[in-house]
Chain A
Amino acid sequence: MTLEARKLVAGYGDKSILEEVSFTLEDGEILAFFGHNGAGKSTTLKAVIGLIETRGGEILLDGERIDQLPIGQRLERGLRLLPERRGVFPDLSVEESIDVVAQRNCSRDGCKITRSDVYDLLPVLRERRKVIAGEMSGGQQQMLAFALALLGSPRCILLEEPSVGLQPDLVEELFAKIREICGRLSISAILIEHKIASAMKIANHVIIINSGRLVFSGPKTEAEKINLWNYF
């Protein structure tokens, strides 16, 4: 699956945040997406998934334009979003959350990741299945949020600051899981992240935006040679 944004323009109210941002994400790749606060990273992901309308440019999934499709149809084509800090249903138990989402996303035939698959991929959830999501630690909540994003047939997951609020060793653990699962199931991902060193470890490609403009785009090997901070 290839996700491509061409000269994307988007924003809120009268204000445009993104100015002609373009990037390409190939099958199974992880794209690390950096930029200062308010640069437009979350806006980009919201535009891709369809939570906000685009004002210009195109978004293509395997060559098909999806920027005019309603959010439900983009989800059906395999796009997923793991929203920052709000990726779980805090009042439901782990098991209920997985059941509810699986029921709506795995009912059709050809479901790639079923509820038993997510328990196998993220065993901590099996141990905690009766626990109310809002009572779990931040790391476990992110594991659950990742599981909810995986259910069904995801092809590209948009990860919005998954490390927020996690202690450093858990960040490494979560990122290792993301790398492993995405690699094994050939799911691509866009990763918005402040923890640049951790994100670089699992990325294939890096883009940086500054005040809504793309200032760097290149493979990880190239990104490692430059001083990324010059672009912030």
Chain B
Amino acid sequence: MLYLQLFVDGVVSGCAIGLVSISFSYFYSVTGTFHVAHAGIYTLCGYVAWALVAAGAPFIAALMLAVLAGALSGYATQHVLYQRLADRQASPLVMMIASIGLLTVLQNIVAIVFSPNIVQFDMPWRVGHLDIAGVTLSHPQALIALVSIVIFVGLTVFSARTDLGKRIRAIASNAELAEITRLDPKRVFAYVLAISSAIVAVPAVLVGVDQAMQPYTSLIVLLTAVVAMIAGGIGSLPGAFGMSIVLAVIQSLSVALIPGRWSIAAVFGIFILFILLKPEGLFRRRFSRAL
């Protein structure tokens, strides 16, 4: 029973990491920018929702506004920072260093404006739980699982079926041709980061509700998400989402076998194995860009 509970806990946190992973992967495979500051936007959105709830806003409104804050900050990040660097022919390394800088700035803004301490949402329903066949799921956990799957399916359908989704895939596939066929890649890059950042706001808020938040802990979430993206195959949304769940389940189950502080090491151990044995990932698209 313990194993089943740990397994379910792993699946749920894997769903949350999966959203971080697909949103990071979506932007990375379109632009090639290693957007470390995704973790900063994650933190920012979580705290925006927390502050709104603390100020008396209904939770659903707080969540929606956090999503909006994510979209706006993502759009602004591409428009103000990355695009200007790209216009000056910045190398991928320069872009990543700028992104690390932005991450630091965002984390510290959150600490200054909101709180540098651990904070929890003040909502009574968050401690309620469901018992299904002997497995306990907290209300926020149930919400995470449900919402994550809806968003994952939504992004996949958006990418495959809609005009903008196809245009984004075309730009990811051949940016130079996109420029000379008037697909306007510069503008679309900003849309993509807005979409990615809106998505990442959701796990930021829901995980914050389920557990607690601190300004400086989001990077480890992003690292797990990046490991999942690479293991799943860069450019593959199902690969990134699926591998996030696999990694989170392994991390969760490892607690039963080894001391808890080694659980993250277990994930990175798997990452090292992947890099050595199957560096292209499990489900890599045939023609996509590589790291």
On chain B, the residues within 8 Å of A214 by CB distance are none
In whole angstroms, how far apart are the Cα atoms of A152 and B169 in the complex? 21
Total A-B residue contacts, Cβ distance less than 8 Å = 76
Per the 8 Å Cβ criterion, residues 50-105 of A in contact with B are 51, 71-72, 75-76, 80-81, 83, 86-92, 96-97, 99-101, 103-105
Given contacts A91-B288, A134-B287, contact A101 B183 (CB under 8 A): yes
In whole angstroms, how far apart are the Cα atoms of A81 and B287 in the complex? 22
Per the 8 Å Cβ criterion, residues 87-131 of A in contact with B are 87-92, 96-97, 99-101, 103-105
Nearest CB of chain A from residue B114's CB, rounded to whole Å? 41
Task: Assess whether B163 is in contact with A100, with CB atoms less than 8 Å apart.
Answer: yes
On chain B, the residues within 8 Å of A72 by CB distance are 182, 184
On chain A, the residues within 8 Å of B176 by CB distance are 83, 86
In whole angstroms, how far apart are the Cα atoms of A132 and B173 in the complex? 12
B164-176 toward A: CB 8 Å interface, digit per residue (1/0)? Answer: 0011011011101
Nearest CB of chain B from residue A190's CB, rounded to whole Å? 15
On chain B, the residues within 8 Å of A132 by CB distance are 286
Nearest CB of chain A from residue B44's CB, rounded to whole Å? 32
Per the 8 Å Cβ criterion, residues 184-198 of B in contact with A are 184
Task: Assess whether A104 is in contact with B180, with CB atoms less than 8 Å apart.
Answer: no
- Decide if A148 is an interface residue (CB 8 Å cutoff): yes
Task: Assess whether B170 is in contact with A97, with CB atoms less than 8 Å apart.
Answer: yes
- Decide if A25 is an interface residue (CB 8 Å cutoff): no
- Decide if A39 is an interface residue (CB 8 Å cutoff): no
- Decide if B181 is an interface residue (CB 8 Å cutoff): yes
Task: Assess whether A105 is in contact with B179, with CB atoms less than 8 Å apart.
Answer: no
Task: Assess whether A92 is in contact with B180, with CB atoms less than 8 Å apart.
Answer: no
In whole angstroms, how far apart are the Cα atoms of A89 and B179 in the complex? 12
Size range of the chain B interface in the assembly: 20 to 34
Q: Residue of B at shortest CB range from A79?
A: B180
Which of B163, B183, B184, B287 is close to A91, meaning CB atoms less than 8 Å apart? B287
Task: Assess whether A100 is in contact with B167, with CB atoms less than 8 Å apart.
Answer: yes
Task: Assess whether A80 is in contact with B167, with CB atoms less than 8 Å apart.
Answer: no
In whole angstroms, how far apart are the Cα atoms of A92 and B179 in the complex? 16
Task: Assess whether A49 is in contact with B172, with CB atoms less than 8 Å apart.
Answer: no
Task: Assess whether A90 is in contact with B181, with CB atoms less than 8 Å apart.
Answer: no
Task: Assess whether B285 is in contact with A91, with CB atoms less than 8 Å apart.
Answer: yes
Task: Assess whether A148 is in contact with B177, with CB atoms less than 8 Å apart.
Answer: yes
Interface size on A, residues (CB 8 A): 31
Nearest CB of chain B from residue A43's CB, rounded to whole Å? 15
Nearest CB of chain B from residue A97's CB, rounded to whole Å? 7
A140-165 toward B: CB 8 Å interface, digit per residue (1/0)? Answer: 00000000110110000000000000
In whole angstroms, how far apart are the Cα atoms of A3 and B52 in the complex? 60
Given contacts A86-B176, A100-B163, contact A91 B182 (CB under 8 A): no
Per the 8 Å Cβ criterion, residues 259-286 of B in contact with A are 285-286
Q: Residue of B at shortest CB range from A72?
A: B182
In whole angstroms, how far apart are the Cα atoms of A76 and B181 in the complex? 10
Task: Assess whether A91 is in contact with B169, with CB atoms less than 8 Å apart.
Answer: yes
Task: Assess whether A75 is in contact with B174, with CB atoms less than 8 Å apart.
Answer: no
Task: Assess whether B177 is in contact with A88, with CB atoms less than 8 Å apart.
Answer: yes
Task: Assess whether B287 is in contact with A83, with CB atoms less than 8 Å apart.
Answer: no
In whole angstroms, how far apart are the Cα atoms of A115 and B178 in the complex? 17
In whole angstroms, how far apart are the Cα atoms of A75 and B167 in the complex? 18
On chain B, the residues within 8 Å of A75 by CB distance are 180, 182
Q: 20 A–B contact pairs at CB < 8 A?
A: A71-B179, A75-B180, A76-B182, A83-B177, A83-B180, A89-B169, A89-B170, A89-B173, A91-B169, A91-B285, A91-B287, A96-B170, A97-B170, A99-B166, A100-B167, A101-B182, A104-B167, A104-B184, A105-B181, A148-B181
| Further pairs besides A91-B172, A91-B286, A105-B181: 19, Cβ < 8 Å | A51-B180, A75-B180, A80-B180, A81-B180, A86-B176, A88-B174, A89-B178, A90-B287, A92-B170, A92-B173, A96-B169, A96-B170, A99-B166, A101-B182, A103-B167, A104-B167, A105-B182, A148-B177, A148-B181
